[in-house]
Structure 1
């Protein structure tokens, strides 16, 4: 019976995804193209509900086009991106947790506050996530999609000078996108190596975070050992007591993917929504 049920679920998923693909292609509020794996993530994020998936997709691209400087006008190999990746790591970690969650790590390589450029750094963050969303989560099980997202922020070296360099409009756009438009379910945010003045930092960002998301944040104030309860050590970099390779190796892998996916990240057909009158004008010319 379980085999029959699994087969029925597969048929329903294929049918729903075909419907969503057709709907996407005909929707004037969306770009011209979407990668099949990304479409699957939207669908899974909404627990297979087609109508909820459509709403999430429209919100996602509406926010992208409202903030093109963060989501559309970008290049992973330009000077702004190089500057971000020179001082900070934005790293999807290999594999999945026992709960089938994907884990990402964010940390400083250079603690000098003047190296931080919040808007450009946020743009780089979304380039890394956009690449990840069209990459299988576990090469050993390519059909398996993560059931949720776990983020680790290493606060080592963070000072109030860093916090003073936050751009409020960028912070607001970033958090809103994570809360209402992300194509994966956010399951946990772990803050490690928290400084003694953590309460001052929290007081700055908390007004922009919904209570629902704030409840997902866990602050590790003593040592990193408490993180191992939630994230297997084997998934973490060597520098964090793990077995997933060095930060340098993971950094190299991430940069390689960004370079390979550069055309995708910069292709307006995947991100930019044309005004309906422009799109209609193009269609009309086809018949002239």
Structure 2
């Protein structure tokens, strides 16, 4: 996950997601979600450039993502992530792009869609491998150079490592992460209570 720098004339913020190591044995879903929350928090502590009419546009590259990766998704964690991003994350979500879609995209959506609000589902745009349809929605200059743009992922990763390192004291201060249970809202009508655990036992044809 790497937030890309803003470009002149565009107020939207593009956040790029892709696998660095495609080995399923090294894929840990909780670590992926933990990384999202750390970067999301850092963007609140040290805000990006102000956006008046813009919003966040995540771009997910499915290159290297396999059915073995899918079986390691932990549904209880996915539910928390989806609930936060749709109901609590203080940014305006404008669109979601999925590029280099796999042949088993329907199975991915089968898992994700039960947690997705209709409004968010309507923001989804899917792009096939070697397709240029993404450029119809996203300024080309905003993309990483290996996708035809002018941004460098390696440079952005290095800058974000420095930024997160500067916030080490913030993240390790346990007093910031206490939960006031008296303010917790109990939701007994959650229809997804049975969707717990992981998908390691998912049957694959």
Q: Under a length normalisation based on structure 2, what TM-score does the superposition of the two structures give?
A: 0.81
Cα pair 2:12 2:51 within 8 Å, conserved = no
Superposition pairs for residues 182-197 of structure 1, below 5 Å?
A: 182-197=89-104
Q: How much does 1:147 deviate?
A: 3.1
| Structure 1 counterpart of 2:168 | 262
In the alignment, structure 2 segments of 5+ residues that lack a partner are 183-205
Any idea what the Cα deviations from partners look like across 1:45-92, whole Å, max 9, x if unmatched? xxxxxxxxxxxxxxxxxxxxxxxxxxxxxxxxxxxxxxxxxxxxx100
Q: Distance in 1 between matches of 2:134 and 2:93?
A: 17
The more displaced of 159-168 and 218-227 is 218-227
Any idea what the Cα deviations from partners look like across 1:100-151, whole Å, max 9, x if unmatched? 111100101111111111112201111011112233423xxxx556731100
Any idea what the Cα deviations from partners look like across 1:13-45, whole Å, max 9, x if unmatched? xxxxxxxxxxxxxxxxxxxxxxxxxxxxxxxxx
Q: Distance in 2 between matches of 1:131 and 1:207?
A: 29
| Structure 1 counterpart of 2:119 | 212
Q: How much does 1:97 deviate?
A: 7.3
Q: CA RMSD in A?
A: 2.0
Alignment of 1:91 with 2:17, yes or no, is no
| Structure 2 counterpart of 1:64 | none
Residue correspondences, number: 182
Rate the CA distance shift 1:157–1:222 in 2: closer, same or farther, 3 A: closer
Structure showing greater Rg:
1
Q: How much does 1:272 deviate?
A: 2.4
Q: How much does 1:224 deviate?
A: 4.5
Q: Distance in 2 between matches of 1:127 and 1:217?
A: 24
Q: Secondary structure at the match of 2:18?
A: strand
Q: Distance in 2 between matches of 1:181 and 1:124?
A: 17
Aligned match of 2:11 in 75, 100, 120?
Answer: 100
Q: Distance in 2 between matches of 1:201 and 1:212?
A: 18
Q: By percentage of residues, which structure has more helix?
A: 1
